Amino acid sequence: MSEKKIQFELPIVLQIGETTWRVLLALLRAGKPLGPKEVTETLSLSSRSVGLYHLEKLHELEMVEKNHEGEYRIKPDADLGFLEQYLFFERGAIPRIALYAAFSTVLLAFYVATVPFDFGAHNVYALAFGIIFTAFFWFETFRIYPAITQSTEPA
């Protein structure tokens, strides 16, 4: 009987170092190509060459592409792993599940405001499920939100 060895390959985003991780997040937040100077200023790195080193590291990992002006941007087909579960803005990032939390909150508020309450099974079940799902979405949002925001702040 031959044994098959199962090999697990970590996603690239889990293999990079802390500073390279911060550079990747800065590129995601910017939403536009950045050069070494902008990355260095954004992340308060010690020198421009440090920013360039980490940008080149991401380029070698095929996560970013370099344009003719020497600026780097995230490749459209880059495998970002769990980072695809976030929406990135210039001022930060939010988990996509926050949109579900907001939507379920609005639906629950609309239901409470428009449906007269009685203790019928329909109302009790609707409110119970609405409250449970809304609480779950908000719990997950606040659980994973700090992980990405702490990583995007300058050192």
Q: What angle do CA 125, 128, 134 make, to 5 degrees?
A: 130
The type of residue at 41 is E
Say if residue 22 is in the same domain as residue 74: yes
Say if residue 17 is in the same domain as residue 75: yes
Strand-pairing partners, residue 95, are 86
Q: Is 4 within a domain?
A: no
Q: Which residue has the tokens 């495998």?
A: 79
Q: Is 96 within a domain?
A: yes
pLDDT tens, position by position, for the chain (155 residues)?
A: 555 655 556 566 667 788 888 888 888 888 889 999 999 998 889 889 999 999 999 988 888 999 999 899 988 887 777 777 778 777 777 888 999 999 999 999 999 999 988 888 999 999 999 999 999 999 999 988 776 665 555 55
Q: CB of 129 within 8 A of CB of 137?
A: no
Q: Is 55 within a domain?
A: yes
Say if residue 69 is in the same domain as residue 120: no
Cα 111 from Cα 12, distance rounded (Å): 44
Cα 28 from Cα 84, distance rounded (Å): 10
Q: Is 63 within a domain?
A: yes
Say if residue 63 is in the same domain as residue 117: no
Q: Is 2 within a domain?
A: no
Characterize the bridge pairing of strands 86-89 and 64-66: unpaired
**Domain span including residue 73:** 12-81
Q: Which of 51, 81, 111 is the last residue of a domain?
A: 81
Cα 63 from Cα 72, distance rounded (Å): 10
Q: Which of 81, 108, 141 is the last residue of a domain?
A: 81
Whole-model pTM?
0.63
Q: Is 1 within a domain?
A: no
Q: What angle do CA 129, 134, 138 make, to 5 degrees?
A: 150
Cα 9 from Cα 24, distance rounded (Å): 20
Say if residue 24 is in the same domain as residue 76: yes
**CATH code, domain with 54:** 1.10.10.10
Say if residue 42 is in the same domain as residue 73: yes
Say if residue 52 is in the same domain as residue 112: no
The type of residue at 104 is S
Domain count for the chain: 2
User: Which pLDDT does position 137 carry in this prediction?
Assistant: 96
User: Which pLDDT does position 140 carry in this prediction?
Assistant: 92
Say if residue 110 is in the same domain as residue 139: yes
Please tell me what DSSP assigns to residue 40.
H
Structure tokens at 26: 């800065």
Say if residue 104 is in the same domain as residue 130: yes
